[in-house]
Structure formats: structure tokens, C-alpha cells
Amino acid sequence: MSRFLRLVARDLRLALRQGSDATIAVMFFVLCVVLFPFGVGPEPNILARIAAGVIWVAALLASLLSLERLFQTDYEDGSLELLSLSSLPLEAAVLAKTLAHWLVTGVPLIVAAPLLAVLLNMDAEGFGILVLTLTLGTPILSLIGAIGAALTLGARRGGVLLSLLILPLYIPVLIFGAGAIDAAINGLTPRPHLLLLAGILAAALPLAPWASAAALRQAVE
């Protein structure tokens, strides 16, 4: 377990010293959402109606931004070879790196989301559920994204390929994430949506590191 935490700590330290990855994702998220009032007009009713969907779509795109770098630098400087030769199983290493990625890029999105909800005039009933769905959903985005990042490792223009591979897989998360908020605002129970999101997370937690590790083993051959 301590090896796992060492790797998480190393990735956090790398991210904090480089600085850019963490701030870029959250800045992109904020800007992306802020663009909508300009595009669809400042009418409060329209904005309130689309708020949940807009915030969720922006969160998907923001989490995609930094995914390409998830394994890229380790692959290029040879660290990935050493990681796959270390006594920490590669699946655990993937999970550690994904956790670090989520802490750096996912958590700031969760923090920023309520502010953007105010900006878009979202109903106050939706705020708690918005934070809850993002808390359940952003780890799924990082986990599924890790598979794509591992598969596109070493490919030219891997970032574009990654988006094409991963965005379709994000659709269920988007549907249940935005659906839960809409349900709460319209006075229905968001419980089924939340349970489905939690189910996806429970499935992705073991499966995604396993699939990513298999792809990484191919990449280091």
C-alpha cells in the first residue's frame, strides 16, 4: 500500500511543480461554461434550463484536456518501463496515477461547479446533487480516460484520437449525471440516476486499471 501512495505522491508533486495541468483544466471548464450565456443569450430561464447539461459537458471536455499527458511523459522518459518492472503491479500503478490525475484535475472541477451553477441561474435544489454527481462522475471520467490514454500511447496526434475513442464512452456518465440534477430540480428523486452512476464507478474501478495496464504492457514492448 505504501508503494501505491508513493506513486500517488510523486505524481501529485510532479503536477504541482509543473503547475499548468491542474489550472488549465479548471480554467478551461470555467471559460467553456461562461461562453454559453454569450452564445444562447442571457435569458435566465433558458440558462437555468440548460445549466446541468452545460456544466456536465464542460466537465467532460475539461477532463479530456490533460488525459493525454497521463502516461505520456512516463512513456517518453523511460519511467513507464521501470514502473512495469517494479514490484508494484502495473494495475495498481495505473490506479495510483489515475487517482493523482483525478485529485489534480477532477477535484478542482467539483469545487468550481457550484459557482458556475450560480452563474447559469440553476435552481438551488440542484446544487447539492450537482456536487454529488460530479463527485461520483469525475473519477469515472479519469478511469475511462486512462484506458484511452494507454491505448493511444505512442500514436501520432494521440490527443485527437483519444477524444474520438473516449467521448462516446462518456455518454452514459453524461446522461445520468445531468439527469440526476434535472430530476432534483423538477421535484423527482435523483436516486436511480445516482445509483447508476455509482454502479458505473464500481465497475470502472477494477476494470479500467486492468484494461489500461494491458494496453501499457503492449506499449512498452
Nearer to another protein, 169 or 220 (CB): 220
Burial class (CB in 10 A: 0-12, 13-18, 19+), 172: middle
| Residues binding another protein (CB under 8 A) | 2-3, 6-7, 10, 13-14, 17-18, 73, 76-79, 81-89, 220-221
Q: Which CB atom, from 105 or from 138, has the smaller least distance to another protein? A: 105
Shortest Å distance, C-beta 184 to another protein: 42
Nearer residue to another protein within complex by CB, 2 or 45: 2
For residue 13, report the phi and psi dihedrals to the nearest 5 degrees.
-65, -45
The least distance separating another protein from the CB of residue 89, rounded to whole angstroms, comes to: 8
- CA distance linking residue 127 with residue 130, whole number of Å: 5
Grid coordinates given for 183? 430530476
* CA 85 to centroid of chain Cα atoms: 28
- Nearest distance from C-beta of residue 216 to another protein, angstroms: 11
- Closer residue to another protein in complex, CB, 27/220: 220
CB of residue 80 to another protein, shortest distance in Å: 9
Q: How far is the CB of 92 from another protein (least distance, A)?
A: 11
Bin 89: left if φ > 0, else alpha if -120 < ψ < 50, else beta.
Answer: beta
Between 23 and 189, CB nearer to another protein: 23
Please give the C-alpha separations between residue 174 and each of 15, 18, 19, 95, in angstroms, as whole numbers: 27, 30, 28, 22
